[in-house]
């Protein structure tokens, strides 16, 4: 092996002024910064370590692995969801779900973390607790409220995942939709009659998120579990 010839290392890290000590919180924040700035592909342990001016091995003292880091990042992102709002229980619930979707979709790939797991993060649980309170306020029985919060959580994560995927796919959302529209226009009408007939409706503009949430809430209200 080549002996490293006298690596002089002109600026030792230790000689630098005031290096903030490593911590789980700092790692999570650095991860979010990279995710927002450079996207999901750039969120590697090496990249996070470099952001903190250290090596990848150092991270593993505070973080079990990449999945653990992403789960922590998700919970940190959810900390920004305001837990209270004004208005009726329905308006408040609407605002809460919308804020959750917003918080998750703002960071590419974080929603996918929420999709697979039962929420356990401190902030995720606060949101969940608040949702349960609002659903009970709506007059639902315990089981229906419990199942409803499950369904709302699933919907939030899915909506956020879809939104953040569209937001970051190749840049422009418009382009993606336009491509799909063109694709659909070229489909054989005899094989896909409904798609062909309803194509303009399929790509019509409008607030689908709000509508979807209304659908869920209305459906929940009139569908008791069991």
- The secondary structure element, H or E, covering residue 111 is helix 110-116
93 is an interface residue for a copy of itself by CB under 8 A: no
Compute the least distance from the CB of residue 142 to a copy of itself, in Å: 4
From residue 48 to residue 87, what is the string marking binding to a copy of itself with x (rule CB under 8 A)? ----------------------------------------
Kindly tell me which residue out of 118, 170, 171, 174 binds a copy of itself, with binding defined by CB under 8 A: 118
Query: Cβ distance 145 to 135 under 8 Å?
Result: yes
Kindly tell me which residue out of 100, 103, 112, 123 binds a copy of itself, with binding defined by CB under 8 A: 112
C-beta atoms surrounding 197 within 10 Å: 11
C-alpha span between 75 and 110 (Å, rounded): 9
The tokens for 176 are: 């993606």
- HSE toward the beta carbon, residue 205, CA cutoff 13 A: 2
| Dihedral over alpha carbons 187, 190, 194, 200 (to 10 degrees) | 40
Compute the least distance from the CB of residue 154 to a copy of itself, in Å: 5
Kindly tell me which residue out of 29, 40, 51, 66 binds DNA, with binding defined by CB under 7 A: 66
Q: Could you list the residues that contact DNA (CB under 7 A)?
A: 1-2, 4, 13-14, 21-22, 42-47, 54-58, 60-62, 65-67
């Amino acid at each position: 092996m080549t002996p490293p010839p006298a690596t002089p290392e002109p600026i030792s890290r230790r000689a630098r002024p005031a290096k903030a000590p490593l911590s789980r919180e700092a790692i999570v924040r650095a991860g979010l910064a990279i995710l927002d700035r450079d996207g999901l592909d750039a969120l590697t342990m090496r990249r996070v370590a470099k952001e903190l001016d250290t090596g990848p091995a150092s991270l593993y003292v505070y973080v079990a692995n990449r999945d653990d880091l992403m789960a922590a990042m998700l919970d940190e992102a959810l900390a920004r969801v305001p837990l209270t709002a004004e208005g009726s229980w329905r308006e408040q619930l609407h605002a809460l779900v919308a804020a959750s979707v917003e918080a998750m979709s703002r960071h590419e790939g974080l929603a996918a973390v929420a999709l697979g797991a039962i929420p356990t993060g401190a902030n995720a649980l606060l949101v969940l607790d608040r949702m349960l309170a609002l659903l009970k306020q709506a007059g639902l029985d315990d089981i229906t409220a419990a199942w409803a919060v499950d369904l709302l959580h699933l919907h939030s994560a899915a909506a956020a995942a879809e939104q953040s995927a569209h937001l970051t796919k190749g840049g422009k959302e418009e382009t993606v939709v336009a491509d799909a529209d063109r694709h659909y226009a070229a489909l054989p009408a005899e094989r896909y009659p409904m798609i062909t007939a309803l194509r303009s409706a399929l790509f019509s503009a409008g607030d689908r998120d709000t509508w979807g949430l209304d659908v869920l809430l209305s459906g929940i209200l009139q569908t008791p579990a069991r």
